[in-house]
Structure formats: structure tokens, C-alpha cells
Amino acid sequence: MEKIRMGLIGAGGNTKSRHIPGFNKIKGIQLLSVANQSTQSSEQVAKEFNIAETAKNWRVILEDDRIDAVCIGTWPNMHCPITIAALNHGKHVLCEARMALNSIEAHKMLNASRYHPDLVSQIVPAPHTLEFDTTIKKLLADDFIGDLITLDGRVSFGADYPNFSSDLHWRHNRNFSGNNIMNMGIWYEAIMRWVGPANSVFAVGRSIVSHRLNADGNRVPTSIPDHIDIIGTFEQGGQMRLNISSVIGSLENEVDIYIFGTKGTLRLVQPKGEGKQLYAGYVGSDVLEKIVVNDKDRGKWRVEEEFINAIRGKEKISHTDFNTAVKYMEWTDAVTESLKTGCMVKLPLG
């Protein structure tokens, strides 16, 4: 397909900052139509990015026979119905993360993609470790750390002491965000790339800022945790302890993840306000030494290019296919179930 016409369904920050510029760099791609939350916002996006048309709603885009593929940039609550409808209308699908509200919806999306094997189905991947993923995986594959003992991490990117006058974001609303909690899903997606999926989960957490201000300035309750601790085990062996928080302050590092093995240790760390760095130490060494990532191993954002290449038959989806996305949605559901019951949850879910 030398010329591919695309429709944009939802045009939020990621669509405008990443997807539209990414597609515009690819030869033979026409952004034909956009349907955002309102007619006015659709017209604004179309004008800003020189998109040919606006659509009254997302169904108009799916029913347009001229359109070959869609980029779904809505909130997670609409990912499942739009994805399934798009596939049923013969459209290739690039869907923003997180995949869906929960793993039930995710499995429905996966089943729909299997029913349409001629169509490309992709979830926007977690981008924050792409630079280091290949290097980490090579070190693990070369037996640098030996057998995994545990992965121990703390993620508090952008966190600070609790602000009890915080605005209500759509991510704090289960109707829009479902079982997704802060940015824990994107970190688990990255962890799966390194050491594979978990087979058990136990979690404790709470909403420290339990009320937030809505658009009218009224205090409304929110039950989605803003501080959570998760432990578990991996299918391939080894354990995990992961803390995700948006309400802890005075931390030197916004990200600090260790991978401890029987022979060696890896550490991915991001000091506050700085970029991420990778360190490694081997048995017998007293300190971790910084690893300089080779240019050929340095991953980068190429989601739009991979999606279009897959449609054109030039490559297969690696970041992120529906099978992988279902696994992180099951883990997300397991965390939620453990929070509710106070029990360990086994994976995969039944």
C-alpha cells in the first residue's frame, strides 16, 4: 500500500505531540480525517496540522471506505468498542495505551484481532525505557547476572508531597481509566521486556489524596491509589518488589530499579530532573559501573513507522502487540484484585 489514508479518533497530547508528527514524516501517508471530543476541538486540530477533514464522531471515520487505518487516542474507556468496530470495518488499528479498562475488554480486543489476521493491530508501547531495553536484554541473555534473585524498584516520577487541592484528572476516574493505576502499567510492560511476565501478585495501596477538585471546583472522592507497593514472583523464577507513588517527596531519584542476580546486578536510575542511566556490577566488584549504550542498541520512538511498515508488510509489530498488552492488563487486574481482597493473586488469570 503505497498510499495509506488515516483517520484520527481522539487527538489529545500524545496524538498531537507524537503520532501526527510521526505519521507526517512517512512518505505516502495522508491524515484524512479527525474526530475529537467536540466539533470545535476537531476543527482546531485539523487546522493546526493541516488535516483534510473533520468527522462528526468516531463512527463516521470507521464507516468511511476511503480510510485504511485509524489511530485511537481516546481515554481507555473507549479503546475496546472503537478497536473492535474498527477491525470489523476493515481498518488497521493503532490504539493508545493503556489497552483498555480491564483485562476482560483486552481479551475481547485480542479475540477481534485474531478474527481479522489480515489487519494490523498495535498498542502504543511504553516508551520510557526504549533507549536501554536492548542492552538490558542482551546482558540478561548473556548470563551477566546469572539467575534472577529479585527485581527491586521505586518509581516516583513527578511525585511530590501530597497536594490536597489537586485537580481531578481523568486518570483518577475509574469510569475513564478502569483498573489502570498511575504509571504502574507502563513500568510492568518494560519489566516484562527484560525478565518476562509475573505469575503472582500481592499489593497494598491507598489513595492519600482521597478527594480532588473537579472542573467546577467541587471536592469529589477518588479511590484510585496514588501510593502502592507490589510484590510478586516471575514465571522464569525470581521475585519482584515495586513501589509506585505520586505523593512522596524529597527523593533524590525519580526512578531507581535494581535487577539482582546470582552473578551480577543491573541498576536503571534517574536522578530528579535528569536522564536515565544504566549501571552494572559483577560478582567481586565493589561498585556499579556506568554502561555506555552502543548507538546500534539504543532504542528510540518509532511507533508510527513500525505500524505503517507492518501494514505494508515490511516488518512485524514488536512494540506492542495485543498478546503482550493483554498480559499487562491481566497484571493490572491482579493488582486491583489483590488490593480489594488482601490476597495474593495468581497469573495468568482464569
CATH number for the domain harbouring residue 310 = 3.40.50.720
Per-residue pLDDT at 64: 98
Pair (151, 61) in one structural domain: no
Pair (205, 103) in one structural domain: no
Pair (171, 221) in one structural domain: yes
Pair (61, 166) in one structural domain: no
The domain of 161 spans: 130-299
User: What is the sign of the dihedral through the CA atoms of 153, 156, 161 and 165?
Assistant: negative
| β-bridge mates for residue 243, sequence order | 154, 229
Per-residue pLDDT at 286: 87
Residues sharing a CB contact under 8 Å with residue 168, sequence separation 6 or more, in sequence order: 212, 213, 214, 215, 220, 222
CA 93 – CA 52 distance, rounded (Å): 20
Per-residue pLDDT at 62: 98
Count how many domains the chain has. 2
Pair (121, 144) in one structural domain: no
Average pLDDT, 10 consecutive residues per value, the chain (350 residues): 94 95 97 95 96 96 98 97 98 98 98 98 97 98 97 94 94 95 97 98 97 94 96 97 97 97 98 96 93 95 98 96 98 98 96
Pair (293, 151) in one structural domain: yes
Pair (225, 293) in one structural domain: yes
Per-residue pLDDT at 350: 79
Q: Is 270 exposed, middle or buried (0-12, 13-18, 19+ CB in 10 A)?
A: middle
Per-residue pLDDT at 221: 94
Report if residue 337 sits inside a domain. Answer: no
CA 20 – CA 25 distance, rounded (Å): 9
Report if residue 348 sits inside a domain. Answer: no
Residue 295, helix vs strand vs coil = helix
User: What is the sign of the dihedral through the CA atoms of 141, 318, 191 and 129?
Assistant: positive
Pairing of strands 227-234, 264-271: unpaired
